[in-house]
Structure 1
Amino acid sequence: MSDIAIESATGWLSDDELETTRERMPILYVEAIPVRVDEHGEVTHVGLLLRIDPEGTVSRSFVSGRVMHHEQLRAALLRHLEKDLGPVALPRIPVSTQPFTVAEYFPTPGVTPFHDPRQHAVSLVYVVPVSGDCRPRQDALDLVWFTPGEAASASVLDEMQGGRGALLRQALAHVGAAT
């Protein structure tokens, strides 16, 4: 057994280091689609965040963020859910850390349905039931709960960037709530 301690809260890369890393290798992300479920486990509502990007574009999105070095997936999901939805959202992280899908974002449009102009990113995507009081924080302006039918409407899907509308349709199909 080694005497070397593994520090799991070592912070993250500086802005310059992150930019250099993004130019050279894919970055691992987790994305969580918050849902409300009824007593039978059926999805009744889907929570979509309202965000504004640095260019001033307003869009709908999911809970999302990078996985840090030495961070377990479950811990990354919890950290980002709390960061975006608040400390009393009461998420129920899945027993298995297997995502319902993997989305690969490329800086070049058209390689996959998913696009991120900043980087090549690999995102593990989860549907996460939440039962508590959700209050958006950090860079999220608002959280709006939609029925599955409302979430799948063209008007909502058009407000999603980078292919996230396709991800939302996949998530709804995965949980049996596709309309």
Structure 2
Amino acid sequence: MIETMAGWLAPGELEQARAQMPILYVEAVPVRVDDSGEVTRIGLLLRIALDGAVSRMLVSGRVLHHERVRDALLRHLEKDLGPVALPRIPASLQPFAVAEYFPTPGITPYHDPRQHAVSLAYIVPVTGDCRPRQDALDLVWFTPQEASSPLVQQEMPGGQGVLLKQALAHVGCLS
């Protein structure tokens, strides 16, 4: 199926682009915060991975041609969490990390067998009702301690567990 939305590549064109250049992505760690701004919960999507395994994942997706990063972040949050998640995108779009995914394992902690991708990663508080859509089976809220546990980390493919730990450290939730 060919996407008709402006900025999308046909599947063959996307495969050719992935083979020749890095693709820009955004990733979001949805969080709940208390009144003082401390992170109390981290939302992780439950998905079926390409290999058929059930895995936990962050909100993520490509930035379209001629799309602002802010708009891409909002689009993917709505796509994955639903239209009433009410994300609070930071005023400054400084990511907490830049993750470089390579098709060859071991170059960085991040691996995507399909492509070389560069991902801008953000921590995004959400205040509304999150109802996963698209290919997400569920959204589960974890405490910071649960999210950093080895059990949850091993369910996150491609280095997303490493990125989640960076997010937790960034907001002071790793001891």
TM bucket, shorter chain:
over 0.9
Deviations 1:22-74 (A, max 9, x none): 00000000000000000000000000000102321111000000000010011
Is 1:92 aligned to residue 88 of structure 2?
Answer: yes
Cα drift, residue 110 of structure 1: 0.3
Which position in structure 2 is the counterpart of 1:5?
none
2:131 aligns with one of 131, 135, 143: 135
Is 1:123 aligned to residue 119 of structure 2?
Answer: yes
Larger radius of gyration: 1
Which AA in structure 2 matches 1:126? Answer: Y
Runs of 4+, deviation exceeding 3 Å? none
Q: Partners in 1 of 2:66 and 2:17 — Cα distance? A: 17
Correspondence list, 1:1-179, <5 A:
10-179=6-175
Q: Partners in 2 of 1:93 and 1:169 — Cα distance? A: 20
Deviations 1:75-115 (A, max 9, x none): 00000000000000000001111101100000000000000
Q: Partners in 2 of 1:56 and 1:166 — Cα distance? A: 22
Cα drift, residue 11 of structure 1: 3.8
Structure 2: stretches of 5+ with no match in the other structure: none
Provide the secondary structure at the position in 2 that maps to 1:81: helix
Provide the secondary structure at the position in 1 that maps to 2:146: helix
Which AA in structure 2 matches 1:56? Answer: G
Provide the secondary structure at the position in 1 that maps to 2:168: helix
- Contact 2:7/2:66 (8 A) holds in 1: no
Cα drift, residue 118 of structure 1: 0.2
CA RMSD, Structure 1 to Structure 2 (Å) = 0.8
Identity %: 74
Provide the secondary structure at the position in 2 that maps to 1:108: coil
Q: TM-score, normalised by structure 2?
A: 0.96
Q: Partners in 1 of 2:12 and 2:139 — Cα distance? A: 31
Structure 1: stretches of 5+ with no match in the other structure: 1-8
Q: Partners in 2 of 1:76 and 1:21 — Cα distance? A: 19
